[in-house]
Amino acid sequence: MKRILNNNLLNHYFVKYNIENIFDKNIVNYAQLHFYEKDEVILEAESELEYYYLLVDGKIKITYLFENGKSMLLKFYKEFNTIGDLEFLKNLPIRCNAEAIKDTYLIAIPSNILREKYINNLNFLHHLIESLSEKLNATINNSSYNFVYPLVNRLASYLVEHITDKNYIVLNSSFKEIAQFLGTTYRHLSRTLNELESKSIIKCEDKTIYILDEDKLRELSKNLYMQSL
């Protein structure tokens, strides 16, 4: 982790995401800008929450570790999102690992400052409620779809979620990570991608997926929208 001493860049993110509206104008006196390189660990499970993080640029993955050493990918976060809200609110150790999967900037606010000065701030409390509600909704949504719908529908939904104005998608996550997110195995994911390709719905070239039949892909997605946050 590197602390970025660039007030202009910090102010840019403050303005872009209306950070002062979440807290107040004095929060700038305590906020720091942290930079994490790709694959660098941001938060480690069972450690104490030193900073409350606002993800302002980049992408991270959240992984839950089991007692037997295995792990499960829970979700991806992209800007704008918050990290550590549950741990802060319940005063718990960090529950999951958070890791940057691309170069990432976060606004870091010391947890002790929030507890001393903002625990009764209505704007901040509303922000916590909204953040936790969105995450709960996404978790229920994804867990339900993983349980009920076949992989071809979940995968189609995942691809639709990432469609832009262009006719292709460049995947920022590995196929192993996507398989974990969709609740399946790498092998099953590969077979399903081949199935969509054989039907001329998509075409795969490494981590670039060309959309050949967007209407059919959206039909298969059934408007599920696997939410990566």
State yes or no: pLDDT of 217 exceeds 60.
yes
- Lowest-pLDDT choice from 44-58, 63-77, 89-103, 190-204: 63-77
Handedness of CA 194, 218, 142, 108 (dihedral sign): positive
CB atoms within 10 A of CB 163: 16
Q: Which amino acid is at 22?
A: I
State yes or no: pLDDT of 124 exceeds 50.
yes
- Which residues does residue 43 pair with via DSSP β-bridges, in sequence order? 98
Handedness of CA 213, 218, 219, 221 (dihedral sign): positive
Q: Which of 30, 188, 54 is nearest to 128 (CA)?
A: 54
**Average predicted confidence (pLDDT) for the chain:** 87
Residue pair 214/163 in contact (Cβ under 8 Å)? The answer is: yes
Residue 8 pLDDT grade (very low, low, confident, very high; cuts 50, 70, 90): very high
Q: Quick: pLDDT tens for 77-103.
A: 888 999 999 899 888 999 889 999 889
> Is the pLDDT higher at 191 or at 78?
191
As given in the structure block, the two tokens for residue 101 are: 């999967």
Q: What is the dihedral of CA 121, 127, 132, 133, to 10 degrees?
A: 120
Q: Quick: pLDDT tens for 125-162.
A: 999 999 998 888 777 766 666 667 889 998 998 888 77
Residue 209 pLDDT grade (very low, low, confident, very high; cuts 50, 70, 90): very high
pLDDT of residue 229: 42
Output the CA–CA distances (angstroms, integers) from residue 90 to 86, 115, 119, 129, in the order listed. Answer: 6, 12, 12, 13
State yes or no: pLDDT of 60 exceeds 80.
yes
pTM over 0.85: no
Residue pair 4/35 in contact (Cβ under 8 Å)? The answer is: yes
As given in the structure block, the two tokens for residue 194 are: 């081949």
Residues above pLDDT 70, as percent of the chain: 91
As given in the structure block, the two tokens for residue 224 are: 């599920």
Cα separation, 213 vs 199, whole angstroms: 9
pLDDT of residue 145: 67
CB atoms within 10 A of CB 138: 17
CB atoms within 10 A of CB 150: 11
pLDDT of residue 40: 94
